[in-house]
Amino acid sequence: MSTASKAFSIEDLRTAARHRLPQAIFDFFDGGAEDELTLGDNQAAFRRIRLLPKVLTDVSQVETGVQLLGQASALPIAIAPTGAVGFGWRGGDIAIARAAVAANIPYTLSSAATASIEQVAKAAPGRLWFQAYILRNKPFLEGLIARALAADYEALMITVDLPVGGKRERDFRNHFSVPFRFTAKNLLDFSCHPRWLSDIVRYGMPVMENMIGLDMQAKNATAIASSVGRSYDPAFNWDSLQKIRDQWPRKLIVKGILRPDDASRLAEMGCDALVVSNHGGRQLDGAVATLDALPAVVKAVNGRMPVMLDGGVRRGSDVFKAIALGATGVLVGRSTLYGAVAAGEEGAHRALAILRDEFTRTLQLSGACSVADIHSGLLFKSHLRDHSTP
């Protein structure tokens, strides 16, 4: 059996990825900021909620499809932007994009991907969204957005929760930086993983294709590991976002929202969707879990635009719970990333197949025939907490 076929859960794929990769590379994907409180709480929030299923409902046929950004998606799932996937598996970004096309769901390409805007559009023609970090170098940022438009990406996703890079201590301890700085510690780590190392020796380290031409040099191993973070623009504000809204002619998604007042303002601005996100716990440690923040954001938006969620989604039942609390859909990042860096495109397909199977089973076992049948009445109320507006 292949590595992918032996995986029966996303956690199995995570374990396979951990075994295949050097610790420094695995921890870059897997880790969070500082004490990793938010990283852990994203998953714990889903575990705190219990289901209250209906019975004696005909669930012999269920419908998992939804409308995401006005177009059909076979699942209420899109791929979240995940950077530097090629560090774990060469061609990993394209592998995930192709898996998304096969699953008939949207794929979001990260600015920090190891495949270019144009390469992904050519290799995986499907529903493509492009995620842009807000860079100090405005001509460079404008160029990225123009390239996404020229390559026919249907939506632009602006990440707004990253004015500066977070403090990811696993990366410091592993001497991980971008570009790589080889030290005695990480060379020993790399040499213990020959399958991964042989590719690097033969082809060299992948690069963040979309960032070529942007100064990203990390000065030392104690610098913020993803040194592109030093290029973020901490002065970016509401007026700056409005200019992008005015100039971008297609769907605009804003990612990184936790507060209901921010969500309401985005709706007033005319944004097309938002993503409740804390950057997977990789930046501000101690931020609220996204599932806990979701209900208040949904209430504030009041149907004016779709609300999606990312962070901590590892089971099909997690997708169900997010929708029951008001999300239109979820974005998955680490789930498909684990699959891709464990087993390439086959692993990415396997991750989505696992989530699809689990989500379908949860629908049936909860007495719901379609996504439209999911509602908060299928959740056990004593496990729900009221989160008031700050």
Residues marked active site are found at 279
Burial environment of residue 248 by CB neighbours within 10 A (0 to 12, 13 to 18, 19 or more): middle
End-to-end CA distance of the chain: 51
Burial string for 203-218 (b: 16+ CB within 10 Å, else e) reads eeebebbbbeebebeb
d(CA 136, CA 349): 36
d(CA 326, CA 345): 32
Q: Is 49 helix (H, G, I), strand (E, B) or coil?
A: coil
Q: What share of the chain is helix, strand, coil (3-state, %, to 5)?
A: 45, 10, 40
d(CA 296, CA 364): 28
Tally of CB atoms within 10 A around 188: 10
Maximum CA extent, the chain: 63
Q: Which helix (H) or strand (E) holds 343?
A: helix 334-366
d(CA 251, CA 270): 10
- CA 1 to chain centroid, in Å, comes to 29
